[in-house]
Structure 1
Amino acid sequence: MDLPAPFEWHGEHVGIELPGGRALFTTRRGGVSTGPYASLNLGRWTDDEPAAVEQNRDRLAAAICIRRDAIAQGFQVHGADVRRVTTPPEVDPDPAVRPPEADGQATALPGVATLVLTADCLPVALIACGAVAMVHAGWRGLAGGVIEEGVTAVRELGASGPIAAAIGPGAGVCCYEVGEEVRDAFAPHGDAVRAGRNVDLKAVARRELRAAGVGEVHDTGLCTICGDPALFFSHRRDDGVTGRQAGVAWRS
C-alpha cells in the first residue's frame, strides 16, 4: 500500500518525520495477541490477556527506540485535557493502575514519547522544534477543543517556530455515519465537514488545526473502518470487541 508523502512505512507501521520530531502510527501487525485482539493490541483496558499486551508494548518501545517507561500515556475519556509531561518517568507504571485522565500528552523532554490509543478516533501528532504532542481526537474531543489545547500545550512547553501536524488512521467520511447529536456538534463548520449523514472528522481536525495556527497538516488518508481489517482495529466495524493501535510522537 502506497502512503502519501512524507509518510512512509516504518516496518509494519506508518511513520513520518517532521522538523523537530517523529511520529509513528501503529497497525495491528507484529504482536502476540490472539482472537479479536490479534496481534499488536496496545490497549491495557481491553479484555485481552494482560501479559500479551505488555509484550506488545515492549515491541512498540523497541520499534521507536525509546524505553517503555519513558512512554507517557493518560486514561482517555473523550475529553480535551492534554497533560504536560515535564519530568521523565522514573519507573514503568503498574499496568493495573490507571494513569491520570487525559486525551493528549505533550512534552519537551528528549527521550520521552507521547502516546494515545485509538480504534476509529483520530490520533493527531503535533510536532515543532522543542516540543511535541499526540492527541486523541474523537468527535467529543474535537468538539471540546482538544486540538487547540494540544497546540497550546506545545507552545507552553517552549516550542519555537511553526508547528506541523500529522493525522493518523481513523474513521473516514466514507464510513462515519452519525446521528443528529454529532452533526449538531459540528454545525459551525457547515457543509464542509458533512456528506449526507456522515461527518468528516479529518476535515474537522484540519480546520481546527488551521484555526489554531498550524500551517502544515499531513493526513494518512487511511480509514480504520473500511480499510484492511488485518491492518487496523476498528471499534465500529468490530462491534466494540477489538484492540487498540497507537499514535506516538517524540522529539528527534
Structure 2
Amino acid sequence: MQTASFRTPSIFTPFLNLIAAESTRHGGVSQPPYSSMNLGINTDDEPANVAENRRLWLANWQLDESNLASSYQVHGTAVQVATAAGRTTGYDALITNVPGLVVGVTVADCTPILVYDVRNRAVAAIHAGWRGTVGGIVTKTLGMMQETYGTTSADCRAYVGTCIDACSFEVGHEVATQFNENYITTNPSTGKSMVDLKQANTDQLRDFGLSDTQIELSPYSTVLNNTDYFSHRLEQGFTGRMLAIIGIR
C-alpha cells in the first residue's frame, strides 16, 4: 500500500460532488506510539499534535474543523441528524444532507461504514464496534436516512472500511454468543471464537436491499496492515485513531 495520508473508496470516485475518505497513519506530526497521523482527540497524544494532524488532513479537501460534524462515540447505536459542524456526545453514526458539511467517525479496529444516497444527496458515517454491530447500527442508520431523506436501497452506495480482520478478532464466549454463527469461526490453536465484523456489517447493508455491486469492502486490516493503520488491540491501547469522512461539496 502507498504511504498516503488517506484512501478514497473507489465506489465513490464517480461522484465528483462527493468528499469521501479514510485516513491512514501516515503524513502527520505525532510521535510514537501515535505516529504519525493520529486524528483522535480522545487519546493521550499531545493535543497540539492532534490539532495539527487534523488541520493537515482536512486541508486535502480545503476543509477545516468548521466543516466537520462528529461525536464522542460510546459504542452505542444512536444516530445524529447533523445540520451544522461541531462535536456532540453519545452518537456512533451521523447523517446529513447539508452541502459543505462532512460527517466523520474515528476508529482503530472498529468498522467505519460510509454511505451515499445518490438521488437525495445525503450521506452517513457509521462507527460499528462489536456492540454497535450486534445492535444493528447500520440498519438503524439506513432507517433514519429513509425516514429523514427518503433514502432507498437502489440509490445507495456504501463502503465498509478498514477494521480488525476476522482472523485477528478473538472474543470470549459472552461476545461470540451475541453474533449469528455465520460470522464466527474458531481459532484452531486456541479454540477461541473469531468474529468477522466486516461481513456482519455488510449483511446489514444487504438486508436493507443493497446489492454487492453497490458495496465496497476495504481489502485492508488494522492488524495485518498495522504499518499503515492504527490497531487498538494489537498496540495494546497505546495508539492513534483513523478518521473516515463523507459529505457533499
- Where do 4+ consecutive residues of structure 1 move more than 6 Å? none
1:222 match: 220
Matched, 1:108 2:74: no
1:206 match: 202
**1:144 equivalent among 113, 135, 150:** 135
How far does the alpha carbon of each residue in 1:197-237 deviate from its partner, in whole angstroms, 9 at most, with x for none?
2111111011111112233211012110121x321110000
Deviation at 1:246, TM superposition (A): 0.8
Deviation at 1:78, TM superposition (A): 0.3
Please show how residues 12-91 of structure 1 align to structure 2 within 5 Å.
12-16=5-9, 17=12, 19=15, 21-86=18-83, 88-89=84-85
Deviation at 1:11, TM superposition (A): 4.0
> Could you tell me whether the CA contact under 8 Å between 1:115 and 1:247 is conserved in 2?
yes
Range that drifts further, 207-216 or 169-178: 207-216
* Distance in 2 between residues matched to 1:166 and 1:144, nearest whole Å: 19
> Could you tell me whether the CA contact under 8 Å between 1:126 and 1:150 is conserved in 2?
no
Letter of the 2:38 partner, please give it: N
Deviation at 1:183, TM superposition (A): 1.1
Matched, 1:195 2:185: yes
> Secondary structure, in 3 states, of the residue corresponding to 2:235?
coil
> Secondary structure, in 3 states, of the residue corresponding to 2:155?
strand
1:250 match: 247
**1:118 equivalent among 70, 92, 107:** 107
Deviation at 1:36, TM superposition (A): 0.5
How far does the alpha carbon of each residue in 1:83-128 deviate from its partner, in whole angstroms, 9 at most, with x for none?
1012x23xxx5xxxx7221001110011111100000000000111
Change (3 A) 1:162 1:133: same
* Distance in 1 between residues matched to 2:110 and 2:232, nearest whole Å: 9
Range that drifts further, 49-58 or 19-28: 19-28
Range that drifts further, 50-59 or 152-161: 152-161
**1:185 equivalent among 165, 178, 181:** 178
Deviation at 1:10, TM superposition (A): 9.9
2:147 match: 156
Deviation at 1:21, TM superposition (A): 3.2
> Secondary structure, in 3 states, of the residue corresponding to 2:8?
strand
> Could you tell me whether the CA contact under 8 Å between 2:3 and 2:26 is conserved in 1?
no
> Could you tell me whether the CA contact under 8 Å between 1:21 and 1:132 is conserved in 2?
no
Deviation at 1:37, TM superposition (A): 0.6
Change (3 A) 1:67 1:153: farther
> Secondary structure, in 3 states, of the residue corresponding to 1:164?
strand
Q: Which runs of 5+ in 1 are unaligned?
A: 2-8
* Distance in 2 between residues matched to 1:224 and 1:146, nearest whole Å: 21
Range that drifts further, 134-143 or 12-21: 12-21
> Could you tell me whether the CA contact under 8 Å between 2:70 and 2:104 is conserved in 1?
yes
Give the number of equivalent residue pairs: 233
* Distance in 2 between residues matched to 1:102 and 1:134, nearest whole Å: 11
RMSD: 1.8
Deviation at 1:50, TM superposition (A): 0.4
TM-score by length of 1: 0.87
> Secondary structure, in 3 states, of the residue corresponding to 2:38?
coil
2:126 match: 135
Deviation at 1:195, TM superposition (A): 1.6
* Distance in 2 between residues matched to 1:204 and 1:47, nearest whole Å: 31
Calculate percent identity across the aligned residue pairs: 33
